[in-house]
Structures are given as structure tokens and as C-alpha cells.
Amino acid sequence: MNDPFGIPETVLVLGATSEIATDMAVTLADNGAQRFILAARSVDKLDELDRRITDKGAEVAARVTFDATDLDSHRSLIDGIWSDHGRVDLVLVAFGLLDTAVADGSVSPTDIAMVNYVGAVSLIEPVAEKMVGQGDGVIAVLSSVAAERPRGSNRLYASAKAGLDSYARGLGDALEPKGVRVLVIRPGFVHTRMTEGLQPAPLSVHPPAVSDALMKGLTGKRSVVWAPPPVRVLMSVLRHLPTGLYRRVTKGR
Ligand SMILES: NC(=O)c1ccc[n+]([C@@H]2O[C@H](COP(=O)([O-])OP(=O)(O)OC[C@H]3O[C@@H](n4cnc5c(N)ncnc54)[C@H](OP(=O)(O)O)[C@@H]3O)[C@@H](O)[C@H]2O)c1
């Protein structure tokens, strides 16, 4: 159950090895969240996060293995979590892949759409059903400012995030009368493993700024929050620039 200040008791983190998710989980534990279910591709990478959560006085109730591309496993994964833990108050959807992963040769272009959009929808749908069943809950979705307007270099990621962002906002509209909130978080450039080696964009931040946006979202009423807040203004300018000017402004990025 969320406390009167919007702090969840039990949190499921999908993509718990993400640097942003790690900071969010520790911040939530610091603010009173009591129980965490950490889901990741490699649960053996979660020792450090487990220790940091435990140090804050919260409990890691389970570590669960999942892959966003393994669509057939998602419903039973979510069923299993609800059946083992009874209820979940907040689900953080934090996994993602940038176009640079394709350049590395480790994934294909369609994997970017699969992970960021198809995999996310495939997991969020059964989560939404469970939360409607329990009558409340929050689904916090890591979108991106890239959802607002793509660049040539991030077209796979940006288009998938645009789909995810649109899906999440529509889901929020559908679930609001049923007591379930969907919170869309749109970070700008965040210094993490995902952006390592890339030229930082204006208003770049570190993961705690995204955790601040999450906390503001949980304790407030907005359905979309930005990190840092001024990227909202920057993106409202950028998304309306004529194509030629936009290409010049974003050249080399
Ligand atoms: N960094 C930014 O500038 C930025 C800006 C806006 C939005 N975001 C979004 O914020 C979220 C977290 O990003 P981050 O910066 O913290 O990046 P990160 O540290 O690279 O984390 C990415 C996460 O995605 C997971 N992942 C990738 N493919 C997966 C798959 N097939 N199945 C399950 N998990 C998978 C990774 O797991 P492994 O550890 O197993 O690789 C990792 O946990 C992402 O949704 C990202 O798109 C980031």
C-alpha cells in the first residue's frame, strides 16, 4: 500500500541493474519503501544494490531473472511475483537499449524496438491487470526526451520510446478510474553506462536527478515528469524547429 505521502511499501524493479533504477531503488528505500523485488537479466549483478537497500533498513524480498525479449515468459513471471508477494505498490519499468548497442554488434536494430517497446508493453499489460485487481498501484515508466523528437543517431531508440510513451499515457487514462496511476518519466541526457562515450547534451544530469523526478511524481499529481524539469522547455522548442534548423542544431549528436 502507498503511504499517505505516496511512498510505496513494495516495489518491483524491472531492469534492476540499470544505473538509474539503482539510484531510484536506493532513494525509495531511503524514503521509507520497505520491500523490493529486483528483476534483471543477471541477478548475480545485484549484490551491491541488495546491500545498499538493506543498509537503508528495507528488505530485498526476491531477485527474479527476466529478459524483456522473452515475451512468452512475461505473464507467468508477473503471475508468479503477485502470487509470491500478494501485491506490489510500485513497478519501475527501467530497462532500455540505445542505438549504440547496434553499432557494438551485440544486438540487431529490431532488438531496440523489441526491448524498449514490445518487451515493455508485454510486461506492463499483466502488471496493469494485477494492479486493477488489487485496486491501486503505480506503474512508473522510463520514457525519454527522445520520445519527443528523434535524431538520426537515435532513431531506433527514439521511435520505440515514442511508442512506449504514447502507450503509457493512454494506459494512464484507461486505468485512472480504476485507481491505478501510470507515471511517465522523461529524462534528458543522463550520465550512465548507456551514454558512456557520448557527447553530453545540454542540461545533462546524473541519476539522482531522475530519482528526484520519480519522487516528485509519486508525491504529486502529474502524469508526466521531466528530469531535469527545464528539459521540458528545451524539448518544446526543439520539437517545433523546422527540419533544416533542427538538423543543424543537433548535427554530430
Ligand atoms: N541514460 C540516459 O541518458 C537515459 C535518458 C532517458 C531515458 N533513459 C532510460 O532510463 C532507463 C535506464 O537507463 P540507464 O541510463 O540506467 O541505462 P543502463 O544502466 O544501461 O541500464 C539499462 C538496463 O536495461 C537492461 N536491459 C537491456 N536489455 C535488456 C533485456 N533484453 N532484458 C532485460 N533487461 C535489459 C540492462 O540490463 P543488463 O545489466 O543485463 O545489461 C540494464 O539493466 C532506460 O529505459 C533508458 O532508456 C536513460
For residue 1, pLDDT beyond 70: no
Percent of all residues in the chain with a pLDDT value above 70, rounded to a whole number? 98
pLDDT digits over 174-188, tens only? 999 999 999 999 999
Contact 231, 203 (CB under 8 A): yes
Domains of the chain: 10-249 (3.40.50.720)
Total-model pTM? 0.97
Residue 2 has pLDDT above 80, yes or no: no
Cβ atoms 156, 113 nearer than 8 A:
yes
CA 52 to chain centre: 20
pLDDT at residue 104 in the model: 78
Q: Which helix (H) or strand (E) holds 122?
A: helix 120-134
Which residue do the cell numbers 493512454 mark? 170
Q: Say if residue 253's pLDDT is above 90.
A: no
Compute the distance from residue 242 Cα to the ligand 1 centre, in Å. 31
Grid coordinates given for 211: 530519482
Quote the pLDDT of residue 106: 82
Q: Spell out which residues line ligand 1, taking CB within 6 angstroms.
A: 15, 17-20, 40-42, 67-69, 94-97, 115, 142, 144, 187, 189-190, 192-195
State the Cα–Cα distance between residues 103 and 80, nearest whole angstrom: 36
